[in-house]
Amino acid sequence: MLRLCPLQLLVLLLGAASAASAQMPAELEEAMRLRSQAVVNSDGATWEKYTADDFTVVLPDGKLMNKSERLALMKTQKPARRSAPQQVQVKHYDETYVRRFLGENGWVMEVWTRDKNGKWRVSAVQVTAATKQ
């Protein structure tokens, strides 16, 4: 029987996690890109295409919104120039990917899952105010 010491096990697990995040499916990368672009452009139709029906978002002020509430807010917003996300991290957990990045409104964490048709959709977003460094 093979026995691993805790350090060997940790190295093995960290290697598996980094390999998993490096192998993100191309269709997920494209979905992330298109949805992010839809937010910048206030493009509700594209945003809705990549957002799960049971979607929720928590904004920096603590307000919880569902998909229809967020879509209604988006329709009142004008397209805006935004800088590219910073410090992007993507983690893979079975059939779920979690993307975290620093955007203009703070830290954003998105939970991406496949729907019943195999399409990638965001099911939850958390936006947290970032402190100035």
Say if 117 falls within a structural domain.
yes
**Token pair for residue 94?**
């079975």
Say if 40 falls within a structural domain.
yes
Compute the distance between CA of residue 129 and CA of residue 56 in angstroms, rounded to an integer. Answer: 18
Mean pLDDT, range 33-39, rounded to an integer: 94
Mean pLDDT, range 91-113, rounded to an integer: 94
Say if 1 falls within a structural domain.
no
Length of the chain: 133
Domain harbouring 64, CATH code: 3.10.450.50
Would you say residue 13 has pLDDT above 70? Answer: no
**Token pair for residue 26?**
């191309």
**What's the Rg (C-alpha) of the chain?**
17
Buried b (16+ CB within 10 A) or exposed e, 28-37: beebbeebbe
Say if 109 falls within a structural domain.
yes
Domain of residue 95: give its range: 6-76+84-128
Angle at 62 between CA 57 and CA 63, to 5 degrees: 60
Average pLDDT, the chain: 84
Q: Are 79 and 41 in contact (CB under 8 A)?
A: yes
- pLDDT tens figures, 46-101: 999 999 999 999 999 999 999 999 999 998 988 877 778 889 999 999 889 999 99
Query: How many domains does one find in the chain?
Result: 1
Q: Report pLDDT for 9.
A: 35
